[in-house]
Structure 1
């Protein structure tokens, strides 16, 4: 989703500022939604189960009827706008503002706003976690411990109730040999970051995993893709690790015993 602020100059004082994209005479930003990750609709030409449902959930929350869209031409064939506000305190490495999204805000543009539990509950980010439209995607240093705890509590309730994508999630253990194994026809939904790594690994391996050419080998060959993460353990402790160390691949079965919704990933 792209965002056009009433005053685009307000972004300039934020950490890691990156200039907006310009189309015609209009400046806009592609947003990075804080703390959530949704099933992919078109990553490298491949989509995941529940991607459509998650997309439609965002549109409905914004007051847009997805049934009115011609998805054969979207998004390049038309444009739409709706009022919204964001809370943003910086940019990520790809030049996107990291944002909590609100349908409206009574605060002055550019004001220094504290993200309270009450305000969090009004954001799309929280709504998406609470209703199973999105996974949690936490990054080190991005949130206060209280806000993070509230998001994790909402995620756990959604998962227990099997809301939304939690009816389909197979991240803990799944089998993949080729790209088709991860597409909607098979209904095998996995954590989006793992999906992206599998897609890239399969393309690297020539389209099919084989001994010596699987996800483990891909992460070893391309260390930048081997995400660093911090897992929280008992009594306030932290365990620093990497993605390759928290997954197990035996033949074409991948097991992930760590809950990726509660770890903190470390930005490269």
Structure 2
């Protein structure tokens, strides 16, 4: 419990009564197992790959028994395992943003640690990207050198024969035809970057009977997503600048995930 007080930021992490706190794995994003958003009920992306990512994370950390209940809660064996988190602080939702590793920590709690390529490759973050079970998703505070390592791991998983994990089915750049929410949430639904899924899910929630994407660029323009696309340094507002829509109901992103750097809120 006391170690949570060492997380930097303008307010402390507030753990639950049992001592746990929510963590967002830095630099990566796996398929959603549940996302509510602002307007509608929770929805998930193709659940098989989402569960593979969750199970790979827990197995990497050292849990040998994983039991998932219908409500997506999980019981684990053993109840705890040794590990560490490397964090710069928390996000706007109060989640600790971190690299997560197993075994003995590389330094003492509360001390600054220089993270090099070798240490990054010891983390679950790198492990999930290397298996193709998570997309690289970068924010401006994440060091450029570490972005390059995760980007290279993602490219290797994507270019493997056959492609690994999500990359075997990913249509983020080739395009997804939207005929309704099931296009994104069915077991055989489209596999796309989770951030794009979240925006499409929220857009479709506004008018569940109309799957037209005609108003999607305007909707995204009103959003708060800010990013830049290297080598350009200009800050861009609105994810509509990184997508294309065709035929009224097909959408694709124009850049690979690792080529977009989001601005932290």
Q: TM-score, normalised by structure 2?
A: 0.86
C-alpha displacement of 1:256: 1.5
Contact 1:177 1:252 in 2 (8 A): yes
Q: Which residue of 1 aligns with 2:39?
A: none
Q: Which residue of 2 aligns with 1:15?
A: 9
Q: Are 1:134 and 2:134 matched, yes or no? A: yes
Q: Give 1:203's match in structure 2, choosing from 195, 202, 205.
A: 205
C-alpha displacement of 1:205: 2.1
Going from structure 1 to structure 2, the CA distance change for 1:81 and 1:153 (only over 3 Å counts) comes to: same
Aligned length: 251
Q: Which residue of 2 aligns with 1:147?
A: 146
Q: Can you list the C-alpha shifts for 1:199-247, whole angstroms capped at 9, x where unaligned?
A: 10000123432365x4223224x333xx1111013xxx43432311121
Q: Which residue of 2 aligns with 1:219?
A: 220
Q: Can you list the C-alpha shifts for 1:238-262, whole angstroms capped at 9, x where unaligned?
A: 3432311121222000022112222
What is the alpha-carbon root mean square deviation over aligned residues?
A: 2.2
C-alpha displacement of 1:6: 5.9
C-alpha displacement of 1:28: 2.7
Contact 2:23 2:98 in 1 (8 A): yes
Aligned to 1:111, what secondary structure does the other structure show? Answer: coil
Q: Which runs of 5+ in 2 are unaligned?
A: 37-41
Q: Give 1:75's match in structure 2, choosing from 64, 73, 76.
A: 73
Q: Are 1:194 and 2:192 matched, yes or no? A: no
Contact 2:4 2:12 in 1 (8 A): no
Q: TM-score, normalised by structure 1?
A: 0.85
Going from structure 1 to structure 2, the CA distance change for 1:117 and 1:203 (only over 3 Å counts) comes to: same
Q: Are 1:231 and 2:232 matched, yes or no? A: no
Contact 1:54 1:134 in 2 (8 A): yes
C-alpha displacement of 1:29: 1.4
Aligned to 1:7, what secondary structure does the other structure show? Answer: helix
Separation of aligned partners in 2, 1:39 and 1:7: 30
Q: Give 1:42's match in structure 2, choosing from 34, 40, 43.
A: 34
